Chains A and B, each alone.
Chain A
Amino acid sequence: MAQSNRLPQQPHEVIDRGSPLNFTWNGKNLTGFTGDTIASALVANGVEVVSRSMKYHRPRGYITADFWDPNGFVQVGPEPNVRSGHRELSSGIAVDPQNVWPSLDYDVKAANGLVGRFLSAGFYYKTFMKPASLWPAFEKVLSTFAPGGTVDLEAPKDEFDKRYAHPDVLVAGGGPAGMAAAIAAAESGASVMLVEHEHRLGGHLCWGSDADVALAGELAAAAEAAGVEVLVNSTVTGRYEDNWIAVTQRSHPLATERLIKARAKVLVVAAGLIERPYVFAGNDKPGVMLSGAVRRLVNLYAAKPGERAVVFSANADGDATVADLERAGIEVASVVDARSGANLIEAHGGSKRVSSIEFADGSKVDADLLVVAAGWTAPTSLLNMAGDRPVYDESSARFFPQHAIDNVLTTGGLAGDGTRDELVEHGRATGRLAAERAAAVRHRLQAFTVQAAPVDGDEPAWADDARTPLGRDPHPALFQSTSTGTKSKAFVDFSEDISNKDLVAAAKEGYDSVELLKRYTTATMGPAQGKLETVNTVAVLADARGETIEEVGTTVWRPPYAPISLGGLAGRIFNPHRVSAIHEWHTSNGMVPIQAGAWERPDHYGDPAAEVRNTRENVGIIDVSPLGKLDLRGPDVPKLLNLLYTNKWSKLPIEGVRYGIMCADDGVVMDDGVTGHLGENHYLMTTTSSGAARVWEWIENWLQTERPDWQVHVTPVTTAYTSINVAGPKSRELMAQLTDIDLDPEAFPYMTLRQGTIAGIDDCIMWRIGFTGELSYELHVPAGHGLHVWETLMETGADLGIKPFGLEAQRIMRLEKGHFIVGQDTDGLTLAPTTGLEPLIKLDKDDFVGKAELAWAMNDRLDELPRLVAIQTTDPTIVPMEATQIVRAGTTEILGRITSSRMSPTLNRSVCLGQVASAMAAPGTELELVLIPDGRRVTATVMEHHAHFDPEGERLRA
């Protein structure tokens, strides 16, 4: 086929005949032109059947040949579900039909049509329900019938993007009224975003008369001159609170799709009208098209939709289609004027194409094209989303907005009918009104936004709506043919294969509310989301109930107006992650990373057990920069510490360091850490790495809401310091080479801090504490010098056998030492005294957070609470997985669980912490563990101390 159905040049065609494009359809090589849609190129090449319907796999051709066409979904290369009526042709693409087997021409699944009476609406709800055990099998079979194309998981991923915008006025719809509104608003000083669903501005003017096309060009030029931001091939998909407007932009140069989150001061809805199909027997046969489809194909793309046409016209657009067809040289066999009462009965034909049309008067005309111009649906979606419930106007046979909404204005076909000039004038008036109201909103926003430019004068008065309303042209109420008794189906919803008989049957079953009917039959729930189907669905139901459309009412259109791809919703993928100042060194030195919250940290450098041994024998260093750090300043810091920690802080001397447990109001352990007294009214608090933000918020909450009179400034300084723990018996020897601080054990004892110079860097803090149980120094150095200090430590410690160690080695060493980790060894019910730290809970303090609960627990019910204990398996080689259940011997009664476990490289046996029932917590108690995953039972014993290693703490105090 060499564009066999391409017409001679049309006056206002948008294709570039000098720019041919090759593509394939169903494996065949075809040619189109730049400017074609896939649909127009297929029609120009004589393609009649483009898809099979969802349920019955009936052959389908284009009916609207635009974005909303229910039959135009195709596979383009790896991309499924492409709307061929909208997607522009591009060079080299492979276009294929989807969900057909073995081929589009002969689809085995069309056999569904033979059992159609069993596949009526709601059949899913009636069948496959019992026996429930067979559902997985049913599901497998049913999934093969699911519509849609094929997703290629190996295909390169598309780029998606997101953007925020704050236009004064956002106009949805770039037809004559929308363009005029945008221009007028911009000329009135508003910033304006104009969003047009199609590929070019103009709306229906584009395929209209010479004057129509000229006006479209003039308005588009004026919009550009006025500084309007024009987004074509973009759709306003939703309107939310305070005019939060979602726009899907498909025309971005780099992104396949971009979601624009626009906060518009005023929204102008100029969405135009959508041509409505007519429900009659055989209305889904290829060759039955709406007038707009025919006019677009002929006038914009010079594509011939048929050889011999019958036109069923109820309005001027139908009449104009007759003129367009005749001008293009397509035979018009008959024009049937619905305004005079004529009606259709059935479109007859074979599986590939309509062949004749039967009328209510009994006549029949041979034709391969039936043009239907039966009326319009007002796409009031955005108005619905703004709270309006449009009402049906019987004389115009369509819905109109009901309520005036202050910052949502309507113009164009949604507001009424008129000549070109009347529509443009209404649009201009709407644009001016929108600009005036936007100015008032802008004044208000500016006035209460602290960083905004100052505003002069009072807020402008809210402009009254003084627009001259558009008229309403009478139109025949045409929804479904009055003729019945044919065998052919008359479709209401082409996407879902729902006929008028399906709807009537559902209504008879009791689903006679439009909302129930919709959900039961899935009518209006296909890809067009009711744009073509809603009003006909309501009309068929109204007929079935013997009521009017107004009495039946409509469903509510909710976002999105048009489907959005999941990629578009996700937008640009942001994955914030944090690294320390030493990260590059870790990466270059064999780090095996672990994600700890947002932090990327070294889990180990190849052999965590060796890292443990080296630290125990020589000296190791670990990057603990994520350790939460809060700078506390002010005279009331001790009060704050006394309030938030369970122990006492008033007498912590300068250069003193103290460990504390922080509880929530219910006495549950929330965080723990060490706080040092740096100087007068100046402290540095450390928190767990994962708890840093939570503790900061906790403190601010107390200071701002409960103790606003206290003078404390809390500043997060986690990343202001690079934190390095230097641990091991040779750590003092190492540090002595790097600092002027006196490291003598008596001058710098355990649980104290010093400030000074380390590796030439001033303003460093060094505290003698340790999580590993070894003699260790925790260094906090200004982060911009962190890498220098780390590298100097490694270089200086080379002779001492220094090695870096990662989180895993630290976890092992802390477990050997019996230190618990908040959130791992404790949970959302763990009260502080059950962790073995009762001495740190000072009930004799005036008050502290959690005191009441803790007093009750410690005085009255400590025996009822599970306790955290160290556990030793009888077989030392067994390392029970964390979360292993502890049970009463020989039973399934759960008495606790292992919270931490590792094989100790130091002790050559397993080491565990676990929570057990109080009655089982006494040292020496034998426990029974049910191992994961095989359920094998082994025994273990509760140990006397939490610490498996150096329980007296001689090493860390060395």
Chain B
Amino acid sequence: MPEHAAPAMVSPITTSYPSVAGSPLTLADESTLTKTLVRSDQAQFGLTFGHSRMEGDAIVAATRPDEWTILGAAEAVAAAEAAIDRGGFTSVIPWTHGRACFRLSGADASRMLEKVCGIDWSDHMTPDGAVVSASVALTTCDIIRNDIIRNDIAAGGAAGTPSYLLVMDRSFAQYLFDALIDAGQEFGIAVG
């Protein structure tokens, strides 16, 4: 058998949109992040359903009552997986290829989401770290609020830039990406 080189993973987003520097609202395709699904009857990462936090450089989100999703660079996810309590009935399922992931960031990110999703995006109902599962433009998504905290602001204790990770079935990704770009026109959305 001849040798075949394995190429890098391909994102489901194949259309290209112009990138605008300094755009107040950005949508970035982060589909090639490594993703792991943890199903377990054990408490994991000290996280209860609806919440997320950083585990090293990976994001860990409690996406269902018995389910956690880990996202990040491959090494970061591997490191986070080390913290999984594998007792009880626990399954660790590779999830990288089945799910696409976008990051919507900017001061108007919540107003943008209001156009495509019925969740209350106010700071008190969905604060930084909140995790919800909802219909976004008629596509089921897990949405993780994961604000970008700039160092200078963090030092002053101020809030960072609102940012949301949208994780959805890979096959819907291209449709949803296009739909979000279209819906975000009034906020000057650009690909980040």
* Residues of chain A at the chain B interface (Cβ within 8 Å): 161-166, 191, 252-254, 261, 263, 442, 445-446, 449-453, 572, 574-581, 583-584, 598-599, 625-626, 631, 633-634, 711, 713, 715-721, 736-740, 759-763, 782-788, 792
A161 with B115: CB separation less than 8 A: yes
Residues of B contacting A164 in the complex (Cβ-Cβ under 8 angstroms): 114-115, 117-119
Evaluate contact between B186 and A784: CB separation under 8 angstroms: no
Q: A713-B39, A719-B170, A736-B1 are in contact. Are A581 and B12 (CB under 8 A)?
A: yes
Q: Which of B49, B93, B139, B185 is A633 in contact with, Cβ under 8 Å?
A: B93
Contacts A584-B14, A786-B10 known; list 9 others, CB within 8 Å: A164-B114, A445-B125, A451-B51, A598-B172, A738-B1, A738-B4, A784-B32, A785-B10, A788-B6
Given contacts A719-B169, A785-B10, contact A576 B124 (CB under 8 A): no
Q: Which residues in window 1-50 of B have CB below 8 A to A?
A: 1-7, 9-12, 14, 32, 37, 39, 48-50
CA distance A584 to B91 in the complex (A): 34
Alpha-carbon distance between A740 and B51 when the two chains are bound, in angstroms: 44
With A446-B125, A720-B98, A783-B170 in contact, is A760–B4 under 8 Å at CB?
yes
Sample 9 A-B pairs with CB under 8 A, ordered by A number.
A164-B117, A165-B114, A446-B124, A449-B125, A574-B179, A631-B93, A717-B93, A720-B98, A786-B10
- By CB atoms of chain B within 10 A, which of A263, A739, A761, A788 has the most? A788
Contacts of B117 in A (CB 8 A): 164
| A254 contacts across to B, CB distance below 8 A | 185-186
In the assembled complex, the Cα of A634 lies from the Cα of B174 at a distance in Å of 33
Q: How far is the CA of A16 from the CA of B161 in the complex (A)?
A: 41
A452, A736, A786: which has the most chain B beta carbons within 10 Å?
A: A452
List A contacts of B131 (CB < 8 A): 451
Residues in A neighbouring B130, C-beta threshold 8 A: 451-452
Q: How far is the CB of A227 from chain B (nearest CB, A)?
A: 13
Residues of A within 8 A of B91 (CB): 633-634, 713, 715
Q: Does the CB pair A162–B115 fall under 8 Å? A: yes
Most chain A CB neighbours (cut-off 10 Å) among B37, B51, B176: B37
List the 8 closest A-B pairs by CB distance, nearest first. Answer: A720-B98, A784-B9, A760-B4, A450-B50, A451-B50, A578-B171, A451-B130, A166-B120
Task: Report whether B89 and A578 are in contact in the complex, using a CB–CB cutoff of 8 Å.
Answer: no
* Known interface pairs A634-B91, A738-B4; A784-B122 also in contact (CB < 8 Å): no
Residues of A close to B137: CB separation below 8 A: 574, 576
The answer on a CB contact under 8 Å between B9 and A785 is yes
Question: Contact at A191–B171, with CB atoms within 8 Å?
Answer: no
Cα separation A261 to B135 with both chains bound (whole Å): 15
In the assembled complex, which residues on chain A have CB atoms less than 8 Å from the CB atom of B94? 720, 763
**The residue from A191, A263, A715 contacting B39, defined by CB atoms under 8 A apart:** A715
Give a binary string over B146-176; 1 marks a CB under 8 Å from any A CB, 0 the rest.
0000000000000000000000011110111
User: Contacts of A631 on B, CB cut-off 8 Å?
Assistant: 93
Residue of B4, B7, B118, B122 with most partner-chain A CB within 10 A: B4
The answer on a CB contact under 8 Å between A580 and B171 is yes
Residues of B within 8 A of A252 (CB): 186
**Across-interface contacts of B118 in A (CB, < 8 A):** 164, 261
Bound CA span A164–B115, Å? 6
- B96 on the A face (CB < 8 A): yes
Cβ of A583: which chain B residues have Cβ within 8 Å of it?
A: 174
Q: Decide if B124 touches A715 in the complex (CB within 8 Å).
A: no
In the complex where A446-B124, A719-B98, A721-B97 touch, is A761 in contact with B171 (Cβ < 8 A)? no
The reply to whether B126 and A783 contact each other, CB–CB distance below 8 Å, is no
CB of A577 within 8 A of CB of B120, answer: no
- Separation of A510 and B93 alpha carbons in the complex (Å): 72
CA gap between A449 and B51 in the complex, in Å: 11
Bound-complex Cα distance A782 to B31 (A): 14
Q: B6 to A572, Cβ gap below 8 A?
A: no
Contact between chains at A760 and B97 (CB < 8 Å):
no
A784→B175 contact, CB < 8 A: no
- Closest B residue to A626 by beta carbon equals B171
Interface centre among A163, A721, A792 (most CB of B within 10 A): A163
A721 surroundings in chain B (CB, below 8 A):
97-98
Q: Does B192 count as interface, using CB distance less than 8 angstroms?
A: no
| Residues in B whose Cβ lies below 8 Å from that of A740 | 1
Output the nearest chain A residue to B95 by Cβ-Cβ distance. A720
Q: Pick from B10, B12, B171, B179 the residue with the most CB of A within 10 Å.
A: B171
B residues neighboring A (CB under 8 Å): 1-7, 9-12, 14, 32, 37, 39, 48-51, 89, 91, 93-99, 114-127, 130-132, 137-139, 169-172, 174-176, 179, 182-183, 185-186
Chain A residues, CB < 8 A from B95: 720
Q: How far is the CA of A715 from the CA of B95 in the complex (A)?
A: 10
> Whose C-beta in chain A lies nearest to the C-beta of B90?
A713
A713 CA / B93 CA spacing, docked (Å): 10
- The prevalent SS among residues of B at the interface is loop
Give Cα distance in the complex from A161 to B111, angstroms: 13
Shortest B79–chain A CB gap in Å is 21
Whether the pair A762, B98 counts as a contact (CB closer than 8 A) is no
Known contacts A572-B183, A782-B96, A782-B97; A760 and B172 CB within 8 A of each other:
no
Given the complex, which residues of B lie within 8 Å of A578, measured CB to CB? 169, 171-172, 175
Q: Are A784 and B39 in contact (CB under 8 A)?
A: no
Given contact pairs A451-B130, A720-B98, A634 touches B89 in the complex (Cβ within 8 A): yes
Q: How far is the CA of A763 from the CA of B175 in the complex (A)?
A: 28
B95 CB → nearest A CB, Å: 7
Q: Is the CB–CB distance between A453 and B97 below 8 Å? A: no
Instruction: State in angstroms the CA–CA spacing of A718 and B119 once bound together.
Output: 27
B12 neighbours in A (Cβ, 8 Å): 579, 581, 783
Q: Is the CB of A453 within 8 A of B115?
A: no
Closest beta carbon of chain A to B84's beta carbon, Å: 14
Distance (Å) between the CB of A718 and the closest chain B CB? Answer: 8
Of B99, B171, B186, the residue contacting A253 (CB under 8 A) is B186
Q: In the complex, what residues of A have CB within 8 A of residue B174's CB?
A: 579, 583
Cα distance, A634 to B98, chains bound together (Å): 20
Q: Which residues of B contact A762 (CB under 8 A)?
A: 6
A357 to B3 CA separation, bound complex (whole angstroms): 101
Q: Whole-angstrom distance from the CB of A703 to the nearest CB of chain B?
A: 11
Closest chain-A Cβ to B138's Cβ sits at a distance in Å of 4
Selected from B11, B32, B139, B185, the residue in CB contact (under 8 A) with A576 is B139
Docked Cα-Cα span, A353 to B127, in Å, equals 63
Residue of B48, B124, B179, B185 near A453 (CB, 8 A) is: B124
B residues in contact with A584, CB < 8 Å: 14
Collect the chain A residues with CB atoms within 8 Å of residue B170's CB. Answer: 581, 719-720, 783
B10, A788: Cβ atoms closer than 8 Å: yes
A599 to B172, CA, bound (A): 9
Asked whether B98 lies within 8 Å of A783 as measured between CB atoms, the reply is yes
How close is B68's CB to chain A, nearest CB, in angstroms?
Answer: 12
Please indicate the chain B residues that have their CB under 8 angstroms from the CB of A452 in the complex. 124-127, 130
A809–B130 Cα gap in the complex (Å)?
48
- Residues A788 and B124 in contact in the complex (CB < 8 Å), given A574-B137, A578-B172, A720-B170: no
Taking the closest CB of chain B, its distance from the CB of A625, in whole angstroms, is 8
Closest chain B CB from A562 CB (angstroms): 22
Of the candidates A598, A713, A737, A786, which one forms a contact with B1 in the assembled complex, judged by CB atoms under 8 Å apart?
A737
Which residues of chain B have C-beta atoms less than 8 A from A717's C-beta? 93, 98
A83 nearest CB across to chain B (Å): 25
- Residues in A neighbouring B172, C-beta threshold 8 A: 576-578, 598
Query: Considering the chains assembled together, what is the distance between the CA atoms of A762 and B4 in angstroms?
Result: 11
Q: A164-B118, A760-B5 are in contact. Are A719 and B186 (CB under 8 A)?
A: no
Given A263-B120, A451-B50, A715-B39, A577-B175 contact (CB < 8 Å): yes
- With A191-B122, A442-B124, A785-B9 in contact, do A576 and B175 touch (Cβ < 8 Å)? yes
Report the minimal beta-carbon distance from B134 to chain A, rounded to whole angstroms: 10
Query: How many angstroms from the CA of A164 to the CA of B119 in the assembled complex?
Result: 8
Complex contacts, B123 vs chain A, CB 8 Å: 453
A contact residues around B6 at 8 Å (CB): 760-762, 785, 788
**Least Cβ–Cβ distance between B123 and chain A, in angstroms:** 7
B7 neighbours in A (Cβ, 8 Å): 760, 785, 788
Bound-complex Cα distance A583 to B171 (A): 10
